[in-house]
Amino acid sequence: SQELEQSPQSLIVQEGKNLTINCTSSKTLYGLYWYKQKYGEGLIFLMMLQKGGEEKSHEKITAKLDEKKQQSSLHITASQPSHAGIYLCGSSFQGAQKLVFGQGTRLTINP
């Protein structure tokens, strides 16, 4: 089983709508990274969260880290076609010194 589970695995939304992607860990999170991947391309770093309760925003994307729930959420407000792609969460668990990734969430934005 995955150490990081993302939900949903696939999401189709109408342009302009809000959406949320979740990343749940089976272990205590010490750092959580969000990446975006355009189809067939490399990953682009979005945000890093390190502290419980931390929330960061970049343009219309907001990410939160809830350590008690061992969960992070990524929220997109007023989605645009440019938001389409695969979103991956990654975390380095204590002592691991390397990232483990969730399976990804494929986001499609319909005009």
Partner 1 sequence: DADVTQTPRNRITKTGKRIMLECSQTKGHDRMYWYRQDPGLGLRLIYYSFDVKDINKGEISDGYSVSRQAQAKFSLSLESAIPNQTALYFCATGTTGRWGGEQFFGPGTRLTVL
Measured CA angle at 47 (ends 37, 73), to 5 deg: 85
Question: Of 30-38, 53-61, 65-73, 76-84, which segment contacts partner 1 by CB under 8 A?
Answer: 30-38
Is the CB of residue 39 less than 8 Å from the CB of residue 107? no
**Using CB under 8 A, which of 28, 57, 96, 110 touches partner 1?**
96
- Cβ neighbors of 101 (< 8 A, separation 6 or more) are 4, 88, 89, 90
Residue of 22, 62, 77, 99 interacting with partner 1 (CB under 8 A): 99
Per CB under 8 A, residues contacting partner 1 are 2, 4, 6, 9, 30-31, 33, 35, 40-45, 48, 50, 88, 90, 92, 94, 96-104
